[in-house]
Amino acid sequence: MKKYYCIIVLLLAIAAGCKKAAYLMYNNGSRIQLADTATLNYTFIYKDLAVTRDTVYVKLITMGDIKDYSRTVTMEQIDEFDTTYTRDPFTGKNTDSSWKPKPYKAVPGKHYVAFTDPGVQSLLFVSADSPATRLPIILLRDTSLRSNTYRLRIRLTPNDEFGLGERKAIEKTIMFSDKLERFESWKVDNTTAAAYLTFGKYSTGKHQFMIDVLKVKIDEAWYQAALKAQATQHYKNVLRDALTAFNADPANIASGKAPVHETSDPTSPLITFPN
């Protein structure tokens, strides 16, 4: 019995040692990762035409000891791909796959200031005595943004100051344009998006109609303020009534402005607001 007891104690000690070793390996040195990897959306549409660049920020967190000096952070742009799978019609298993680059990849110097630019490099750091920072991404207002939404996929890279944290937390996509875009609470057309529950399916035609009627910038800040004021139902009623009146106006009908469609294509669906 004493022999078996010693073996059990030895095995438990080895297991504990392995867990501790793994923990130490993960925490060895300083590491960085992103606070979140959700896609960040931005548009220049609400900015004065004189504004040719703007900055969005990506939050970064560190792991390991906090230092009493500033530490440089480095990152790069990477490609994005759409993956297509070929499945066996009988087994349903994947038999092949292909990758196609996603369209509208942002071009450094045209759509954003390159991360190798000395001015940008001087801004990419974690301050002394800090466990986190916000990395500035400088976007450029190129005319191509009026027609298409461009994509900038960033990835943190290791350097002399930092290793990398969780592999799934080192990349993020920024999508930006100079036209109307969805905002966070209207990110998708399903019940997981709060604004969808209030205003229904998103479209640029509906978005522009809301701006024209309410005479304000319709974005995430506006929506959160409406929520806080418990005014979303009121705005929906105002917009629904305004749409009915606009579509019934003979002048709007004669000019082709009414009825209001989801896009500039007259064959696109008409916009509606839920009851």
Residue 28, pLDDT score? 65
The pair of structure tokens assigned to 178 is 């100079």
9 has pLDDT over 50: no
Give the pLDDT band (50/70/90) at residue 95. Answer: confident
165-223 pLDDT, tens digit per residue, is 999 999 999 999 999 999 989 989 999 999 999 999 999 999 999 999 999 999 999 99
> What is d(CA 112, CA 107) in angstroms, rounded to the nearest whole number?
7
DSSP track, 218-264: -SHHHHHHHHHTT-HHHHHHHHHHHHHHHHH-HHHHHHT--SPBSSS
Supply the pTM of this predicted model. Answer: 0.76
Domain 31-177: give its CATH superfamily.
Answer: CalX-beta domain (2.60.40.2030)
Task: Specify whether the CB–CB gap between 231 and 222 falls below 8 A.
Answer: no
Scanning 74-217, the segments in alpha helix (DSSP H) are 118-121, 194-199, 204-214
11 has pLDDT over 50: no
DSSP-based three-state secondary structure for 136 = strand
Residue 23, pLDDT score? 38
Ranges 9-13, 25-29, 56-60, 181-185: which has the least confidence: 9-13
Average pLDDT, rounded, for the chain: 90
Residue 84, pLDDT score? 72
Structure letter (DSSP) for residue 2: H
Name which of 217, 186, 219 is nearest 203 in CA terms.
186
Give the pLDDT band (50/70/90) at residue 3. Answer: very low
Q: What residue spans define the domains of the chain?
A: 31-177, 184-255
The residues pairing with 175 across neighbouring beta strands, listed in sequence order, are 41, 151
Beta strands in the chain (DSSP E): 31-34, 40-43, 53-63, 71-72, 74-77, 81-87, 94-101, 125-126, 132-140, 150-157, 163-164, 171-177
Name which of 81, 82, 7, 66 is nearest 32 in CA terms.
66
